[in-house]
Chain A
C-alpha cells in the first residue's frame, strides 16, 4: 500500500507552487467542461506558462499542444498528470528525461512505481492532490467559496 501522506506534505506543495513557472499538463483536454481544462485555464490565469501535452489536439487554451513530454521544446518545472494511473510510470520516465523538477499527479492518479522512478532521479513528487485546489488553498481565493482550506494564520498578506 502506497504511503500517500509522503507525497502530500504541505511545505513541499507550497514550495512547488511558489517556485514553478512552467507547467506541462499531460492529458489536458480541449473540452472546456473537463476538470483538466479547468485546471489548465486556472493555472494560466495565475501566471504559469501552461504547456498542453495531448496527442489528439494541436492547440488548447491558446497554447501549442505537444504529443508527448519529450516533444516539448522548452524547460518544464512541473509535469502535471491527468492520465490513468497505469500510464504514470512511462510519464515519470519522460519527466525524468526532460529534467522536470516535480511530478504532480492529480486526484486518483496514483502509482507507486512512477513515484519511485521520479524520486530516484531527484524529482519532487506530489500525488492524489489537485494543483488548482492547492494553489487556491495557499495562494488563491478558495476561501471565498466556503471551502475548508485548513489554513490557520494571523499573518497579513497581500491581495490575491
Chain B
C-alpha cells in the first residue's frame, strides 16, 4: 500500500452546483494537473504506466482500483475527453474509440451475441448501414430496418431475441428527426435499450438521455472536433438501464473473459461501461490516440459557440435553397414547412443541426455539376467541420447501397448533402449561386435568384 490515506483535512468540500453547459464544455473531466499545475489538458503520450508496487498492479487489473495500466484500455488525456462528453450528455461515463464506427461496433458487441436481433432506423449514415448489414450479419446478429418516422413499426419489429433499438437524432442525410421519447418508451416496454447516434445534434442541441435514450454514440470526428483534424468516437451510457432484467446474459452473467465477474451486479450503474472498456475495448482494440483526444477537447471548448453559428448559417442556406428553382426537397428539419417541425421544437429547440440534403435539378449530372461549380464549399466526405462541405451521396458515401436502400435513406440521384460551416453566410450563398449557374447550363434552365 503506497497510497497515502487520501483524507487530508485541508481539502475543502465542493458544493453540488449545477454548472451550465458552457462552463462544463470547458471544465468537465479536467482538474489542473496535480504534478505540474498545467492548465491545459496534458497530452499523456505514453503506452503504459509504471505501477507503484505489485499489489497496486494486481488491483488495477482486477478492476478493484481505478488505475492506469495500458493506453489501449485507458489514458489520462483520453479520460478527460470521455468524462467531458459524458458530462455534457448527462451520462454515467464514456469510453472513447479510434472512430465513430469503432465506437458503434463496440457499443453493440458489448450487448449482443450470435443469434440476437437489433431493430434499427433505416435512415442512417451509409457507413452505419454497411456495418449493420454486413458486419453484424456476419456475426449472426439479425437486423430489422424500420422507417424511423413510423413509431408503431418499432414495436412491430420486436422479437424475443431483440437486444436493442438504434437510431440517429437527426438522420444522415435526409434530416429525419427521431421521436426519441416515443421510441425509448417502446424500447423500455420490451426491456430493451435505445441507442442513439447524436453526432449531428451534438449534446449542445439535444441530449437524448434526457428523453430516455440509454446509450449515446458520437462520431467525434464531426462537430465535437469541429475542425476536421482527427478521427474518433465515443460511447456514453446513461447508467440507468437494468442489464440484469434477464435479456442480457452477455452483460449480466459471470464473464468468462474476466474471471467470472458479473459486471452489472458488481459495478451497478457503471457495469455496462466497465464491460465496454475492460472487455470490448481491450479485445477489439480501436483505442483513441491521446493527441486526437486533446484535439477533440480543443473542439469541445467552443462547441456551443460553433453550433450556434452552424445553426444560423444552416437555416439561411436552407431558406436560400428552398426558394431556388434548381433545388427541391430541401430536407433541413429546421425549416418552418418541415414535417419534423413539432419534433424539432421538442428535441432541437436550439436548432436542427447543420447537415442536410436537397435534390439538385438535372439528377446525377445536375448534382455533380453543382459540386463542380462551387469554389468555396469543399467537396469531400465528411461533415461537421467549421468549413462548409458538399458531397453527392449517391456516388460517394452511400455508393454501396442499392436503389431500395438509397430510397429508404432518403437519397436520390441528384441529392446533394451539405454540411454548413461557420463562414460568412453571404459567401456560402454566393458560391452556391456559382454552382447553380453550372447546373443551369446542364439542364437548360437559367439559374436566377435574387
Task: Say yes or no: is B438 at the interface (Cβ < 8 Å to chain A).
Answer: no
Q: Determine if B13 and A18 form an interchain contact, defined as CB atoms under 8 angstroms apart.
A: yes
Task: Say yes or no: is B261 at the interface (Cβ < 8 Å to chain A).
Answer: yes
Q: Determine if A35 and B86 form an interchain contact, defined as CB atoms under 8 angstroms apart.
A: no
Tell me the chain B residues, 1-20 only, with Cβ under 8 Å from chain A: 1, 3-9, 11-17, 19
Task: Given the known inter-chain contacts A45-B3, A160-B3, please indicate yes or no for A146 contacting B82, CB distance below 8 A.
Answer: yes
Task: Given the known inter-chain contacts A148-B83, A152-B27, A156-B34, please indicate yes or no for A14 contacting B14, CB distance below 8 A.
Answer: yes
CA distance in complex: A146, B76 (Å): 9
Min CB–CB distance A127 → chain B (angstroms): 15
In chain A, what residue has the closest Cβ to B80? A143
Q: Determine if B7 and A11 form an interchain contact, defined as CB atoms under 8 angstroms apart.
A: no
CA distance in complex: A4, B5 (Å): 29
Task: Say yes or no: is B376 at the interface (Cβ < 8 Å to chain A).
Answer: no
Task: Given the known inter-chain contacts A147-B273, A148-B87, please indicate yes or no for A142 contacting B64, CB distance below 8 A.
Answer: no
CA distance in complex: A157, B265 (Å): 33
Q: Determine if B14 and A159 form an interchain contact, defined as CB atoms under 8 angstroms apart.
A: no
Task: Say yes or no: is A72 at the interface (Cβ < 8 Å to chain B).
Answer: no
Task: Given the known inter-chain contacts A141-B67, A154-B27, A158-B8, please indicate yes or no for A146 contacting B78, CB distance below 8 A.
Answer: yes
In chain B, what residue has the closest Cβ to A146? B82
Q: Which of B1, B24, B68 contacts A152 (CB 8 A)?
A: B24
Min CB–CB distance A27 → chain B (angstroms): 14
Stretch at the interface among A52-60, A89-97, A111-119, A132-140: A132-140
Q: Determine if A107 and B268 form an interchain contact, defined as CB atoms under 8 angstroms apart.
A: yes
Q: Determine if A35 and B68 form an interchain contact, defined as CB atoms under 8 angstroms apart.
A: no
Tell me the chain A residues, 9-26 only, with Cβ under 8 Å from chain B: 9-11, 14-15, 17-20
CA distance in complex: A138, B74 (Å): 20
- Residue numbers in A under 8 Å from B82 (CB-CB): 146
CA distance in complex: A14, B15 (Å): 9
CA distance in complex: A147, B33 (Å): 18
Q: Determine if B13 and A140 form an interchain contact, defined as CB atoms under 8 angstroms apart.
A: no
Task: Say yes or no: is A7 at the interface (Cβ < 8 Å to chain B).
Answer: no
In chain B, what residue has the closest Cβ to A32? B62
Q: Which of B11, B259, B277 contacts A146 (CB 8 A)?
A: B277
CA distance in complex: A9, B63 (Å): 27
Q: Determine if B3 and A46 form an interchain contact, defined as CB atoms under 8 angstroms apart.
A: yes
Task: Given the known inter-chain contacts A41-B59, A130-B268, A154-B32, please indicate yes or no for A149 contacting B83, CB distance below 8 A.
Answer: yes
CA distance in complex: A155, B15 (Å): 13
- Residue numbers in A under 8 Å from B29 (CB-CB): 143, 149
Q: Determine if B19 and A47 form an interchain contact, defined as CB atoms under 8 angstroms apart.
A: no
- Residue numbers in A under 8 Å from B91 (CB-CB): 148
Q: Determine if B93 and A47 form an interchain contact, defined as CB atoms under 8 angstroms apart.
A: no
Q: Determine if B74 and A144 form an interchain contact, defined as CB atoms under 8 angstroms apart.
A: yes
Mask for A70-104, Cβ within 8 A of B = 1, else 0?
A: 00000000000000000000000000000000000
Q: Determine if B23 and A152 form an interchain contact, defined as CB atoms under 8 angstroms apart.
A: yes
- Residue numbers in B under 8 Å from A32 (CB-CB): 62
In chain B, what residue has the closest Cβ to A157? B34
- Residue numbers in A under 8 Å from B35 (CB-CB): 159
Q: Which of B1, B23, B27, B66 contacts A144 (CB 8 A)?
A: B66
CA distance in complex: A140, B67 (Å): 10
CA distance in complex: A158, B262 (Å): 34
Residue from the set B11, B27, B68 with the largest chain A CB neighbour count within 10 Å: B11
Q: Determine if A146 and B273 form an interchain contact, defined as CB atoms under 8 angstroms apart.
A: yes
Q: How many residues of B contact A (CB 8 A)?
A: 64
Min CB–CB distance A146 → chain B (angstroms): 3
Q: Determine if B14 and A144 form an interchain contact, defined as CB atoms under 8 angstroms apart.
A: no
- Residue numbers in A under 8 Å from B76 (CB-CB): 144
Tell me the chain B residues, 23-74 only, with Cβ under 8 Å from chain A: 23-24, 27-29, 31-35, 37, 59, 62-68, 74
Q: Determine if A153 and B268 form an interchain contact, defined as CB atoms under 8 angstroms apart.
A: no
- Residue numbers in B under 8 Å from A144 (CB-CB): 66-68, 74, 76, 79
Task: Given the known inter-chain contacts A41-B64, A47-B4, please indicate yes or no for A145 contacting B268, CB distance below 8 A.
Answer: no
- Residue numbers in B under 8 Å from A135 (CB-CB): 6
Task: Say yes or no: is B95 at the interface (Cβ < 8 Å to chain A).
Answer: yes
CA distance in complex: A107, B268 (Å): 8
CA distance in complex: A9, B13 (Å): 11
Q: Determine if A146 and B74 form an interchain contact, defined as CB atoms under 8 angstroms apart.
A: yes
CA distance in complex: A130, B239 (Å): 14
Min CB–CB distance B204 → chain A (angstroms): 17
Q: Which of B13, B254, B260, B274 contacts A10 (CB 8 A)?
A: B13
- Residue numbers in B under 8 Å from A133 (CB-CB): 269-270
Task: Say yes or no: is B266 at the interface (Cβ < 8 Å to chain A).
Answer: yes
- Residue numbers in B under 8 Å from A19 (CB-CB): 7
Q: Which residues of A contact B (CB under 8 A)?
A: 9-11, 14-15, 17-20, 32-35, 38, 41-42, 45-48, 107, 130, 133, 135-136, 138-160
8 new A-B contacts, CB < 8 A, other than A141-B67, A151-B14, are A14-B14, A33-B266, A47-B6, A107-B268, A133-B270, A135-B6, A136-B66, A140-B66
Query: Could you show 6 A-B contacts with beta carbons less than 8 Å apart?
Result: A32-B62, A133-B270, A140-B6, A141-B66, A148-B86, A160-B6
